[in-house]
Amino acid sequence: MDLSRRDFTRIGAVSLAASLSPTLVAQSAPGRKIGYCIIGLGRISDLFMAGVQSSPNSRVVALVSGHPEKAARYAEKYGIPASSIYNYQNMDAIRSNPAIDAVYIGLPNSMHAEYTIRSARAGKHVLCEKPMATTVAEGEQMIATCRDANVKLMIAYRCHYETTHQRVVKLLRSGALGKINLIQSAFGFSCDGNDWRVKKALAGHGPLFDVGIYCLNACRYLTGEEPSQISAYAFSDPSDPRFTEVEESVTWTMKFPSGALASCATTFGGQMEGYFRVYTNRGWLEVSPAFGYDGLHLRAEYLPEGGPFTTLDEPNPEKSPYHFTLEANHFSTCVLENRTPKSPGEEGLRDMVYLTQILRSAGIPA
């Protein structure tokens, strides 16, 4: 399925407008730390807060939660005063809290747009979990609102900041492995029937939005290209009550302008270790596991032009939550130094366009 010219024109226009916009900058001073308000206190937010603990330029200063007891526990852990604990009804009052520079949004997918927009209108920079939204229109509104409020928007693609992924991208860009011919990638797990991820009203869609997006985004940064063609299939076991609202499994292929092909799969129906494997005209490279919080492992065999046969076997010894520390470091630096994040809202919007194309190709209403 060819991506429409309208899709790319829309993204380009939004990106240009964002690049021309002024941005609110936190006053930089030696030892200055960006204060984060954490919106939603689920597992991903717990990991982010733990990561912030090791960050030299970030700190947790406020919470938004619908569970007072849970909020009180985290407030005690991070030394947050009761006056900086908010609920979903009164969170717009964060505008008046000068300790808050930015928010981290770790809510279910369908809530990303609302709380990004409310936070931006309260004058706070936004670090929002992926996927950025559940529709392209929501993503566009998030970008526009942050632009109009003069605040930064970054989508939490933590792999962009993780050391093994950066090492892989550098290797591929160096030309040592030659031309990319094919990428294989997959990620999935067996999802509990009570999980919000199988509730359409909260998740928007199934595994494609939750873990399949890792494969999609990886193929884009591995090739350094945008897919020009997409074809997809989906399946849900009609006898499995978990999948009455969202898809169970999705597979898709992509073709890139260079001729490189990608084959990806994702599921909520069984365990599928997240990985990618890149085949080139001079060898191969893989990271498996690739998308978890630790234990990443790079392997490769290739014959560089004019060089000796090379074998790599590089397990990453870093432990969780180091991904989140690196992610927080980057966004806080962007706020302090008025830089554009490496994964801005426009990056999330591009994925929303491709996710929509995958769904439509698979015959799923997007």
Residues classed as catalytic: 130, 214
Q: 3-state DSSP call for residue 99? A: coil
Cβ–Cβ < 8 Å for 294, 315: no
Cβ–Cβ < 8 Å for 203, 135: no
Please give the order of strands across the beta sheet that includes 269-280.
Answer: 229-235, 249-255, 261-267, 180-190, 269-280, 283-287, 297-302, 310-315
Sole residue written with tokens 């569970």: 67
- Distance between CA 199 and CA 167 in Å, rounded? 37
C-alpha distances out from residue 237 to 57, 248, 250, Å: 47, 7, 12
Question: What's the length of the chain?
Answer: 366
Residues ≥6 apart with Cβ < 8 Å to 223: 180, 183, 256, 258, 260, 262
Beta bridge partners of 58: 34
Calculate the CA 235 to chain-centre distance: 25
Residues ≥6 apart with Cβ < 8 Å to 191: 197, 198, 207, 242, 268, 269
Residues ≥6 apart with Cβ < 8 Å to 92: 118, 121, 122
Residues ≥6 apart with Cβ < 8 Å to 164: 287, 290, 296, 297, 298, 314, 316
Residues ≥6 apart with Cβ < 8 Å to 308: none
C-alpha distances out from residue 307 to 91, 270, 282, 300, Å: 58, 42, 11, 15
